[in-house]
Amino acid sequence: MLSVETIEKKVVEIVSKYLPDKSPDRLYSEEYELDSLSLVNFVIELEDAFEIDIDDELIQSDHFRNTKNVVSYIGSFFKEETKMISG
């Protein structure tokens, strides 16, 4: 299982390619917002980096409102994986 710190570091690295402000609370705001193409590319990079599949319906949800939420969402993939192995 990946640590939260490891996930956050990688997410911030990917976010920094698309947004100048890497603050955990500013992934989406009036000032900094990913356009649709950048959002798709961002999600693809996340999927590749963490070897996960992100449900298209969740892309516009709160899971992608800010960096902290993205980190939590990605972390949930690894928590679920751990449950399946131990359960």
User: What pLDDT is attached to residue 26?
Assistant: 61
Dist CA 81 CA 38 (whole Å) = 28
Per-residue pLDDT tens, the chain, 87 aa: give them. 788 899 999 998 998 887 766 565 666 555 556 777 888 899 999 999 999 999 888 887 778 888 888 999 999 998 865 444 444
User: What pLDDT is attached to residue 39?
Assistant: 82
Dist CA 68 CA 85 (whole Å) = 26
The interaxial angle of helices 36-50 and 67-86, nearest 10 deg, is 30
> Domains of the chain (ranges plus CATH)?
4-86 (1.10.1200.10)
User: What pLDDT is attached to residue 86?
Assistant: 46
